Amino acid sequence: MKFSIHSIIGSLFVLTSLFVSCSEDEVINPINDRYIAIPDAHFETLLIDLGIDSDGIVNQRILKSDAEGVTRLDLNYFKHFGEIADLTGIEGFVNITFL
């Protein structure tokens, strides 16, 4: 039985596709359940200046407990007005009643 080059290449393509599709998915957000990702340095600096981010370090994360303790958040703080470009992480502030 003769195999054509096309059937061999096709078989290799299918096998390669199967192996690639069965690999582990890449972790998109490496921050664990204890932290919330805050990728915008200006947003995190604002949280530090307002006394919300308790570690006081711009490290692209904030404790969930810090965020959950916030009920009011003023993003118009004069020192950082207009600098914040990404509010990723604000979804962790689940108890906000005033924004």
**Nearest one of 74, 67, 76 to 94, comparing CA atoms:** 67
- pTM (predicted TM-score): 0.66
CA distance 74 to 93: 12
Instruction: Evaluate if residue 89 carries a pLDDT over 70.
Output: yes
Residues 44-57 have a mean pLDDT of 94
Average pLDDT across the chain, whole number: 81
